[in-house]
Structure 1
Amino acid sequence: MSTFPWRHVLPGALAAFFLLGGTLNIFASPEIRADYDRWGYPGWFPYLTAALEWTAAVLIAIPRTRLAGHVLGAGVMGAAALTVLLHGEFSHAIPPLVVLALLGLSGGWLLRQGNVARP
């Protein structure tokens, strides 16, 4: 009898989150574009964010590159949290901070288990 691979559940959910986030940025609604404008980012910035989120999703989905995906995703979420905090939108910082914590938890499990790519 096979057992369910629980160690892939959280990384799978994180990969799905970044895939969805990248898609929402590449096909940004007027509200999302207005947010980027309000924060002072150039018009192409949602595309850069989408590319980084999609890259993080792919890296997290592949076990050998999972830790690199966690690091990239943490950078994206850290930047998102910092952006909204610096603009006084404190309640908007909660989602990226939660994802950042989940990335830390999942990445910690990876490091503890030794399931990371070695150079």
Structure 2
Amino acid sequence: MPDRVWPRRLLTAFYWIVAFTFIMGCITKFWPGPTFFGPAYSVKFAEWGYPSWFRFIVGSIEGVCAVLLVLPRKRFKFIGAAALMLLLTAATTTHIVAASELQERIAAPTNLGIMVFFVLLNWPADWGELLRP
């Protein structure tokens, strides 16, 4: 039994680390000025062709999904990872089309791959369980 504890704890730590990165993403999207990642996200979103207020929607989705990733139930982890997977598909496309900086063109697909892993790991055996209270 102790042999199974460490992989589960490592996976839990990985969920927390990934959730922390998305919480930081949420905070920086709401931050009004420049961030430690570069210019303000209001400027970045405008450069990418989106309205500057769209950053609040993206940041909110990131924040809610980060919380879902660390909740103990598999269905919450699945919903959070699936929503982030959709968001990161759009982010990856945006960074490729807009020819963003290299770090953004690498970070978005890397996070997308992590979310695909999380979705597959938490795939529901019965789709009805996602809707049960």
CA RMSD of aligned residues (A): 2.4
Out of 4, 7, 13, the position equivalent to 2:11 is 7
Instruction: Name which structure has the greater RCO, CA cutoff 8 Å, separation 6+.
Output: 1
Give the TM-score taking structure 1 as reference length. 0.83
Distance 2:32 2:19 in 1: 19
Runs of 4+ in 1 over 6 A off after TM superposition: none
Task: Assess if the C-alpha contact under 8 Å between 1:59 and 1:66 holds in 2.
Answer: yes
TM-score by length of 2: 0.75
Task: Tell me the distance in 2 between the aligned counterparts of 1:86 and 1:74.
Answer: 18
Choose the corresponding residue for 1:36, options 32, 45, 49: 45
- Give 1 or 2 for the bigger CA radius of gyration: 2
5+ residue gaps in structure 1? none
Task: In structure 2, list runs of 5 or more residues that go unmatched.
Answer: none
Match of 2:82 in 1: 71
Q: 2:31 matched to which residue of 1?
A: 27
Q: Number of aligned residue pairs: give it.
A: 117
- The sequence identity of aligned pairs, in percent, is 20
Question: Which residue identity lines up with residue 14 of structure 1 in the other structure?
Answer: V
Q: 1:10–1:106: 8 Å Cα contact kept in structure 2?
A: no
CA contact (8 A) 2:77 2:118 kept: no
| Aligned ranges 1:1-119 → 2 under 5 Å | 3-4=5-6, 5-30=9-34, 31=39, 32-64=41-73, 65-89=76-100, 91=102, 92-111=104-123, 118=129, 119=131
Q: Is the 8 A contact 1:14 1:103 kept in 2?
A: no
- State the 1:62 CA deviation: 0.9
Q: Distance in 1 between matches of 2:92 and 2:72?
A: 27
Give 3-state SS (helix, strand or coil) of 2:23's partner.
helix
